[in-house]
Amino acid sequence: MLSGTAMLLILALTHPAHAQDAGSGEFDITRQIGPDPYLPEPQYVNLLATVKVAEVVGWAEGQTPTVPDGLTIAAYATDLVNPRTVHTLPNGDVLVVQSRAPEEKPRFRPKDYIRDWVMAFAAGGGDGPDRDTNLITLLRDTDRDGVVDERHDLLTDLHSPFGLAWIDDTLYVAAADGVESYPYALGENTITAPPTVLTPLPGGPLNHHWTKDLALSPDGTMLYASVGSNSNAAENGMEAEKGRAAIWEIDRATGAARIYASGLRNPNGLTFNPDSGMLWAVINERDELGPDLVPDYMTSVQDGAFYGWPYSYFGNHVDERVRPARPDLVATAIAPDYALSSHVAALGLVFTNGAAMPDAYANGAFVGQRGSWNRDTFNGYKVSYVPFTNGVPDGMAQDVVTGFLHEDQARGRPVGLGLDGTGALLIADDAGNTVWRVAAADGRITEAPIDSDRVAAPAPAEPEGAAPAAPAEDGPATPETDATPPPPADAAAPDEPAPLPQE
């Protein structure tokens, strides 16, 4: 069976249009960008899902991605190993998380071997021995001229790290199976203290979507961690999805945790909108329903909300592959705010409010799209900009940083995004092993660094005898007091299969 399926894979790679009855070569992807995307009929019967993989060739000397007039781009750091995310500290230092997937993942079916091969091919890395990764590197621009002056490996030998947060001389690291904390004062060049586990998260041995992102609440009290699903569409059984396809809320002081939102297949790019105070994320949706389903998306994340996975997509569009069906949950599913089109693999998100960007990019979000492998024409492989008004998307996405894909070869693949200590855009290119810096061509910089966490200053104390202030409408909810995530409010009775997530 394995050899036969491998042969089908080869056929799909060399003749991708034959892998399914309908191709996407004539499909207008702009119809799937925005709050109300066009959704074609799903293709439930496929010999093999469409596969077209861009071979990673890297960047030649002097090559860079392409940016429009008004912007410049240059390498901020090179010779990295799978840079996934970037995180700017309040003093302007930039932390780069480099990581690979955990090695302990079991494979149950031929499809698992094929997917791993496709992912390895798409990630590149050459034929030489693996270089050390799973580390966090500090980049310091001492004179704020956009050029790194110091580089230090802050932490090494980590367990597939991804998300970061910093507050109160503490660095939080989201590893493949939990959130850890380290004592760390700004300006230090290394961390030698052992970690403290703040809270465990669903991990291995099966850890299909292993990347765990982090965001710090605007008041600094809560952490939000993303946990992706353990499958494409629940084919490994719902027992394998306990606590997954969800965003967790973690009390930073105690480690007590609860499910904040669920039904999110693979959420990443967690960040709070500076205008509204709402948590936002980008989500990779499911595959194998055709090359033009299902659109990946960006969305605000509401407390207690269910976003459909695996039972439905974009609200009440039922995925007939998932059994038993849950029409009760589908009826509660919230449609996302903004579709990005199908299979772009969106992983990075950063808001530009206050950044040193030209006016055309002054109030919105950049989205990093790592790029498709499961369409017959490529999609993604770029950084786009989505304008916002009053805290919500308002207008068509614009391609801003391109050139990662050249014909059928990938020079790089953009993942995490951030702002450096001068307010310029940073792009973690995990296949090109580079962090790129995109700045305004006129050389403008911010007066002070904008850190990734953007923790708001505490409100001044009320005069004695004053009436208490009303709670903020958009602030994060009060956490549960126990450390075990309870089921969502729409959970089934105890003797019925519980909806995602469960623990």
Would you say residue 221 has pLDDT above 70?
A: yes
Would you say residue 194 has pLDDT above 60?
A: yes
Q: What is the pLDDT of residues 442-475, one digit of tens each?
A: 999 999 999 999 998 665 555 444 444 333 333 3
Q: What are phi and psi of 18, to 5 degrees?
A: -85, -5
Q: What percent of the chain has pLDDT over 70?
A: 80
Closest CA to 323 of 234, 263, 231: 234
Q: What percent of the chain has pLDDT over 90?
A: 76
* Structure-token pair, residue 335: 């449609």
pTM: 0.86
Q: What is the overall mean pLDDT for the chain? A: 86
pLDDT value for 26: 83
Q: Which range has the worst mean pLDDT, 268-272, 281-285, 458-462? A: 458-462
* Structure-token pair, residue 98: 């480099």
Closest CA to 284 of 272, 306, 299: 299
pLDDT value for 498: 36
Query: In whole angstroms, how far apart are CA 296 and each of 204, 342, 343, 345, 346?
Result: 25, 6, 6, 7, 7
Q: How large is the average pLDDT for residues 126-149?
A: 89
Would you say residue 108 has pLDDT above 80?
A: no
Q: How large is the average pLDDT for residues 97-104?
A: 90
Q: What is the pLDDT of residues 391-436, one digit of tens each?
A: 999 999 999 999 999 999 999 999 999 999 999 999 999 999 999 9
Would you say residue 124 has pLDDT above 90?
A: no
Q: Which range has the worst mean pLDDT, 119-123, 381-385, 437-441? A: 119-123
Alpha carbon distance 291, 380 (integer Å) = 13
Answer whether 201's CB lies under 8 Å from 93's CB. no
CA Rg value for the chain: 22
Angle, helix 110-123 to helix 2-14, in steps of 10 degrees: 40
Q: Of residues 376 and 195, which shows the higher confidence score?
A: 195
Q: Of residues 407 and 13, which shows the higher confidence score?
A: 407
pLDDT value for 119: 54
E strand or H helix that includes residue 12: helix 2-14
Q: Of residues 462 and 483, which shows the higher confidence score?
A: 462
Confidence of residue 241 (pLDDT cuts 50, 70, 90): very high
The strand pair at 279-283 and 267-272 is best described as: antiparallel
pLDDT value for 417: 98
* Structure-token pair, residue 268: 């990443």
pLDDT value for 176: 97
pLDDT value for 51: 87
Q: Which domains does the chain have, with CATH numbers?
A: 53-440 (2.120.10.30)
Q: Of residues 426 and 500, which shows the higher confidence score?
A: 426
Answer whether 357's CB lies under 8 Å from 72's CB. no
- Cα angle 217, 220, 224; round to 5: 35
Q: What is the pLDDT of residues 309-336, one digit of tens each?
A: 999 999 999 999 999 999 999 999 999 9
Sign of CA dihedral 412, 413, 415, 418: positive
pLDDT value for 374: 85
Neighbours of 327 (CB within 10 A): 10
Closest CA to 124 of 491, 453, 434: 434
Closest CA to 265 of 496, 84, 500: 500
Q: How large is the average pLDDT for residues 144-148?
A: 98
Q: What is the pLDDT of residues 42-96, one digit of tens each?
A: 999 866 667 899 999 999 999 999 999 999 999 999 999 999 999 999 999 999 9
pLDDT value for 130: 79
Q: Of residues 432 and 20, which shows the higher confidence score?
A: 432
Confidence of residue 155 (pLDDT cuts 50, 70, 90): very high
